[in-house]
Amino acid sequence: MIFAASRAIVRALPGDPLETLIAESGSSIAPEELRIQMGLDRPFFEALFSDLRKAAKGDLGVSLLNREPIAPLLAARFVKTLKLACFAFLLSLTASLILGLFAASGRTLLARIADRICTFYGALSAAMPTPWLGPILLLVFCVWIPIFPSSNHIVLPALTLAFTTAGFWARLIRQRVRETLAEGAAPGARARGVPEWKVILKYGLAPASGSMIAYLGTQFGAMLGGAFITEIIFDWRGMGMLFVEAVLKRDYPVVEAATFTTAALILCGTTLGDLARTLVDPRSQQERNL
């Protein structure tokens, strides 16, 4: 269904890919003859079912422009996108855990300050779009304070992705840990003199980890898709850049394959998140079966 929808949308775009191909390659072949050679003359559904059978075997077709197989090209670009998403995920998770756990304790001056920061940061990150934050970081750290090059580095794009997610994650962690601390055995542990850090981790974070892992798994898949815009801003040669290049050049097979792959990755992230939640907290599976 995703493959069919992406193909229908891409084929509805204005412009003829053969015009771009002939202009860039200088080919003297007639457009109609080239259309037949590339299979673009086939009816929509006939070509769709044929390509779906090939995709099920790992054959995503051939690029219209360079006539190279798409699967190896996507694999090489996906490695760079995955590297960026993993780095951003680790940064975001680390920052949100530290801030969220400090804010959840609420028993010291430092915890109250962290709580205020968590609230402000969560609202700020939700209101700050990636297309705005990315150029600001480029201006500050590549022009005003030239610490990083303007392209082909991972730190700034990872910070951009992490900044927009860590705020919400910190608020989520704060809320979940507060709920488990209020309902569980935390008051009794505190009365017995158990250290506060141990109370937070054992009686606050551990019982809430199941639902949070499921959510974070979903967010990791979304982060892979969200990396597209960041890659364009920072010239990171991942799937996002490949997708934009393919759209501009009307390379339909590459656009369709990239769209399908991205949607599949988001679904895989959601599925893996649910599976991890079941492994960490078996009670979630029992609740689902009731």
Q: Write the pLDDT tens digit of every residue in 150-178.
A: 778 899 999 998 988 888 889 989 988 88
Question: Rounded CA gap, 182 and 175, in Å?
Answer: 11
Q: Which amino acid is at 130?
A: T
Report d(CA 218, CA 232) in Å as an integer. 23
Q: What pLDDT score was predicted for residue 14?
A: 66
User: Residue 129 phi/psi, 5° resolution?
Assistant: -75, 150
Same domain, 184 and 249: yes
User: Which residues constitute the domain of residue 23?
Assistant: 2-56
Q: How many CB atoms lie within 10 A of CB 135?
A: 13
Number of domains in the chain: 2
What pLDDT sits at residue 218? 72
- Quick one: pLDDT at residue 280? 64
> CA-to-CA distance for 69 and 222, rounded, in angstroms?
27
Per-residue model confidence (pLDDT) at position 198:
85
* The model's pTM: 0.81
Write the CATH number for 213.
1.10.3720.10
pLDDT for 290 equals 47
Phi and psi dihedrals of 56, rounded to 5? -65, -25
User: What is the number of residues in the chain?
Assistant: 290
d(CA 55, CA 257): 9
Amino acid found at 226? G
- In this structure, the answer to whether residues 259 and 128 fall within a common structural domain is yes
61 lies in some domain: no
Task: List, for the chain, all residue ranges whose pLDDT scores fall below the cut of 50.
Answer: 286-287, 289-290
45 and 86 both lie in a single domain: no
Residue 128: both structure tokens together? 């700050």
- Asked whether residue 63 is assigned to any structural domain, the reply reads no
pLDDT of residue 19: 67
Same domain assignment for residues 29 and 103: no
Residue 62 lies in a domain: no
